[in-house]
Amino acid sequence: MENDNRQSNNDDELPNKMRNMSVDNSIDENYDETSDLNIDTKKNSTIEAIGIVINVAQTFDEFAPLIGTFLALGDEIKKLYDKAKHNKELCSFLLKRCNGAMAAVRDLDMRKTENRGFFSKKGNLKLFEEFIKCMEKIKKFVANVSQLNKLKKYFYAKKIEEELNELVKEFNGYMSSLNFSISVQFTDDFATVKSDLKGIKEILSHIWGVSDDSQQNILDNIYSITKKNKNFQKQVKQNTSEVEENEPLLDGNKFSKTKFCPSKRIQKRISYGNCEEYCFKEFSNNTSTSSSADQSNQSNNKEIQIEIRREVNILKLLKNFKHIISFYGVAQEDTKYYLVTEWMKYGNLHEYYTNFKDNIDLKTKIKFALDICRGVAYLHECEILHRDIQSANVLVDGNHKVKIANFGLSRKFSDITRNILQNLENIRYMAPEKLAVENDENNNNDAQKKKVPYDSKCEIYSVGALLWEIAELKKPHYDLDKSVLLVNIRKRVSEKYCLPFSNDVPTEWRTIVTRAMEYDSMWRISIPDICRDFYNLSNKIHSDSLQDNTEVSTSNDFCTLSVDEAINVHRSTNGDKQKAWQSFKYHSLTNLEAKYWLGYYYYHEEKIPELQQINKAEKIRIAANIFKETADKGNPSAQLRYGMCLWEGNGVGINTLEALKYLKMAANQGNSAAMYIIGKAYWKGGNGIEKDKKQGAEYLKKAASNNHPKAKEMCNELGINN
């Protein structure tokens, strides 16, 4: 970079330096030059140099606005990548290429005179204009494949692949025609990215649990809700009192009252028309008095109920998604107004597990967790943030199904329709960045601290806390004194305290919670990934259950261990490695963790008789293939192992950039060894990886904070503050 800047500065001095240069290659070197000839030569050199500079300036003027447009498009693609919810690897694949092209274009801009041949070459201007159009296509493509509401046109992954092929072919053509060099390897990771593509069908069926016949309706709903929500938010910002599509109020007198009233504001009613049960939640306290103050209150409450109705008209569209409570409208009875939703028989989740704790097994917990996360994912796709994820805001219906409740499109809606007590409880679930500045009565000396906006990363932290609660059937920080709850929770969180798990909680569940509740928001897992991981965990538990029911010993001296038992046997000092190997082999067809351990044994264990019959090179090759297969399916240990295979060339060809990709996948799942390797690679650079000490320090600090010994040592040696 310093050389580039120095070169750029030297370019400005070109006319002066040209005074001492001979540009006439036809001059005989043996000719006895006279002083007059030297003077004429210098004059000619100066005139020619000035002509070059003028010519470069004229041609560059045509390119200048195009260069600005090109670089701006690259920056916009980077922003889209940062916001990507789906097909992140694909977006990264394209972003790397765009970054390479942007680097080449920046070089043109910085070294105008040296690149005069490019600017003066006939046809390059037209090619560059067409390249901009290609970048616009890439921007549109990334925007479409990374957001579910725009992914609708790509119902199957194959359609994405077809368009991707065309884009890459076009992009490569322009890079070649313009003679732009790029260090990013194209072919090796192209096949990997294509194998990872997620069409909308896979996302909706696997991650969201939406049946094939309902997928089109869900997509239409997302599009409609998102559009209406955006219009509503614009009206709120403009403080408009306009009411769009404001349907009539429901008549409260058409619903019979019951004696069941969970609180003063909530009651169960039954429709005279269809005999269905509904929840009526009062959100105003008007009285029929004639005082001017009361009349003012009535006017104010009328405005409130109109705004609530505007929101409910949009929220009603959510009822087609089974993991979110159904809104039916706003009812009026005398001077009171009620929010009308479906009736949830068993109350909130905290009440439910308090009353039915003995009936809640691991399968039920996983079902609850997955359904809640699917509900949050749906809200996020509709660009709706819940803002208060906690067990009090998850309700349980008569079929023991959980649904997300108590949210709206605005803070006013939430404040009006929520319980004050549960608002106080939300500090148990609050993200560190919000906890540090909100609700602090003793924070007078910190008044200038910047208020952190609430975003999806804050919500992910709350989801993580709720997932811990479901695993343990206890509220987060249940052991703290309620009278000083805020102070104590803030202290714990600032010290990066981790909520402890019982021994029977699956490792996968612990990993999800740990990643969701990362102190630094940039490291938190995305909600689609949480859904995917719980979907995989659900399948694993189901598979293990089937095996437990059908497993029969094939010999008198061998009994198949469960995967967890086999891992424990493997790790024990005197464990029976042969028994562990046989168990991993048995489970490998249906269990991802077992398949990974199968690869581990091919790579490391030479004392297994069956493996001793295979030569070492072949075992390493088989291991690498297994690591790749399980890595691509989300196993962090396999991602680390395959990354190292690529890095060192064990069983596969050396490919450091591809290795870095897999190591980052492992690091993003909390693997501290991967964090350390990436940090070291960025810090030192080389092997095709550009030195980036800032990024290297971040990974090293993260690894050290996860107690990786070598990372701690390196941070101390380099003076990197942990």
How far is the CA of 123 from the CAs of 119, 176, 205, 308, 437, in angstroms?
9, 14, 49, 60, 58
pLDDT at 12: 41
The CATH number for 260's domain is 3.30.200.20
pLDDT at 474: 95
Q: What integer best gives the mean pLDDT of the chain?
A: 79
Residues 167 and 29 reside in one and the same domain: yes
pLDDT at 638: 92
Query: What are the residue ranges in the chain where pLDDT is below 70?
Result: 1-59, 148-157, 181-202, 207, 212-213, 236-247, 284-303, 412, 414-423, 437-450, 543-559, 605-606, 722
Domain count, the chain: 3
First-to-final CA distance of the chain: 28
In a domain, 520, yes or no: yes
Residues 519, 520, 523, 529, CA torsion sign = positive
In a domain, 500, yes or no: yes
pLDDT at 421: 54
In a domain, 123, yes or no: yes
- Based on DSSP, count helices (H) and strands (E) in the chain, helices before strands: 30, 8
pLDDT at 195: 55
Q: Domain of 440?
A: 357-531
Residues 58 and 141 reside in one and the same domain: yes
Q: What residue has token string 């890095």?
A: 647
Distance of CA 337 to the CA centre of its chain: 40
Rounded to a whole number of angstroms, the CA Rg of the chain reads 32
pLDDT at 679: 92
> Among 139, 168, 198, which residue terminates a domain?
198
User: And the tokens for 614?
Assistant: 């295979």
pLDDT at 284: 57
User: For residue 628, what is the enclosing H or E element?
Assistant: helix 616-632
Residues 407 and 384 reside in one and the same domain: yes
**340/337 Cα distance (integer angstroms):** 10
Residues 445 and 375 reside in one and the same domain: yes
Q: Is residue 559 packed enough to be buried (19+ CB in 10 Å), middle (13-18) or exposed (0-12)?
A: middle
Burial 38-59 (b: 16+ CB within 10 A, else e): eeebeeebbeebeebbeebeeb
**337/304 Cα distance (integer angstroms):** 10
Q: Report the phi/psi class of residue 496: left, alpha or beta, with left for phi > 0 and alpha for psi in -120 to 50.
A: left
Residues 39 and 150 reside in one and the same domain: yes
pLDDT at 156: 59
Residues 182 and 256 reside in one and the same domain: no
In a domain, 247, yes or no: yes
In a domain, 209, yes or no: no
Burial 566-594 (b: 16+ CB within 10 A, else e): bbebbeeeeeebebbbbbbbbbbebbbbb
Residues 336 and 367 reside in one and the same domain: no
- Alpha-carbon torsion, ordered 76, 82, 88, 91, to 10 deg: 20
CB 31 within 8 A of CB 96: no
Residues 446 and 482 reside in one and the same domain: yes
> Among 483, 512, 531, which residue terminates a domain?
531
Residues 376 and 525 reside in one and the same domain: yes
Residues 174 and 275 reside in one and the same domain: no
In a domain, 293, yes or no: yes
> Among 531, 560, 589, which residue terminates a domain?
531
Residues 82 and 158 reside in one and the same domain: yes
How far is the CA of 208 from the CAs of 322, 357, 370, 374, 375, in angstroms?
10, 27, 9, 5, 8
In a domain, 576, yes or no: no
The CATH number for 398's domain is 1.10.510.10
Rounded to the nearest 10 degrees, the angle between the axes of helix 187-195 and helix 656-668 is: 30
pTM score above 0.75: no
User: And the tokens for 257?
Assistant: 């009252």
Residues 158 and 248 reside in one and the same domain: no
How far is the CA of 279 from the CAs of 107, 283, 307, 328, 342, in angstroms?
65, 13, 20, 10, 6
621-671 pLDDT per residue, tens: 899 999 998 998 888 899 999 999 998 888 888 888 888 999 999 998 888
User: For residue 425, what is the enclosing H or E element?
Assistant: helix 420-425
pLDDT at 145: 82
pLDDT at 149: 61
Burial 18-33 (b: 16+ CB within 10 A, else e): beeeeeeeeeeeeeee
How far is the CA of 388 from the CAs of 126, 431, 658, in angstroms?
54, 11, 40
377-414 pLDDT per residue, tens: 999 988 899 999 999 999 999 889 999 998 887 776 76
